Amino acid sequence: MTLKLYNTKTRSKEIFTPIDAKNVRMYVCGPTVYDYAHIGNARPVIVFDVLFRLLRHFYGADHVTYARNITDIEDKIIARAAKEGRTIRDLTEETAKVYEDDVAALGALVPTLVPRATDHVAEMLTLIDTLVEKGHAYAAEGHVLFDVTSMADYGKLSGRSIDDMIAGARVEVAPYKKNPMDFVLWKPSSDIEPGWDSAYGRGRPGWHIECSAMIEAHMGTTIDIHGGGIDLVFPHHENEVAQSVCAHGEPLANFWMHNGFLQVEGEKMSKSLGNFRTIHELLDEWPGEVLRLQMLQSHYRQPIDWTERSGKEAQGTLDRWYALTDGVEATKEAPEGVLKAISDDLNAPGAIAELHKLASAGDGAGLKTGAQLLGFLEGTAEAWEAAKLNRSSVDPMVVEALLAERTKARAAKDFAASDRIRDELKAMGVEIMDGAEGTTWTITK
């Protein structure tokens, strides 16, 4: 089966052919660890985890290298550490650990590589030296800046011209810049800021140079896929392209992939609106698998609206899937319909529709196999129920007491009382199912 992916670089869907089928390489921009990641940051984690799984399916787990970096030196980190009176290392270690635990709870596989920016400053300086030597960068007042006019097609990835960028810029231009759009590769550090010695003075790297250097250090000058959120196309990914292409004369990535924006209850997420939600907070309310299914019910390139209602619907879907696959073994071959859909530019909504068909047909084995390709149904039904119970205010003892009362009412043919108890349980967020072996219950939230 052919894998097709939408390439931001060409603005078209293309057949994916790796540079080396025995070493397929993908890099996705990870978090800047100054605070807990918000729910929008979960989307690229989940989207590119699905792609990682799919690449492993096509080429073998040992032949796919997936890197997701951690930015642990940046001005927001410095400011947060100073505000809290902590060392930068202490802050970044804590937030990075929370991030890794949170994305694991979303069902994301551990990437092959998790490079940290502070471990690659030497490589960044080497790359900066190369750009200066080739006339693509210049030193000015303790800074080193990339000269955007030195690259004929700067702006091609994002589809912007330098003139348009300058016209649309609303920032004060530093006097040491040759061009308003020139961006920082290296900046000076004060005595109280973290810094490294260099030929340009004591300082620290700019954001964009970090990813270019880490990619080159671990994966070579050209990789197969570079991914991230749509907000990174400009300036971050555009500037990565500029640095790497001008240093090496080769494309940084053959495929560029970007996921769409996320809203919360129909509005842009912001602290001022009171709808800013972190992954960590939501995992206290929902099992990670619910958040994963919510994210995949919309195509990754389209905007997505996170709502409480969609969470309840996703949990209900997973309830049915777990009930149908309880004790069922997955098969070796993924269902053709699921694989065909997800291989068409990660059409997760189409793949989920195929899973619903398998569920309706009572094909538990096919459902489990197809779902696991997307990162679902990897635990037991018992663990799933426990995960819901741990996040619920429902008291199991109260539920069991009400069920016992309902059993007595049914035995006495007091169906009005039986219905009243069912409604009471439903209001609590508990759904009951009567079967030949008795009454079972599940949390619906």
Half-sphere exposure of 172 (CA within 13 A, CB side): 2
The Cα 410–Cα 418 span in angstroms is 6
Average pLDDT, the chain: 93
Mean pLDDT lowest among 267-276, 315-324, 345-354: 267-276
Please give the pLDDT value at position 427: 80
CB burial string 248-287: b at 16+ within 10 A, e below: beeebbbbbbbbbebebeeeebeeeeebebbbbebbeebb
Read off the pLDDT of each residue in 47-72 and give the average, rounded to a whole number: 98
More reliable by pLDDT, 423 or 48: 48
Annotate 326-357 with b (16+ C-beta within 10 A) or e (fewer): eebebeeebbebbbbbbbbbbbbebbbebbeb
- What pLDDT, in 10s, does the model give residues 348-396? 999 999 999 999 999 999 999 999 999 999 999 999 999 988 776 667 7
Query: CA 40, 103, 354 angle in degrees (round to 5)?
Result: 80
Secondary element (H or E) of residue 132: helix 121-133
In whole angstroms, what is the distance from residue 364 CA to residue 46 CA?
24
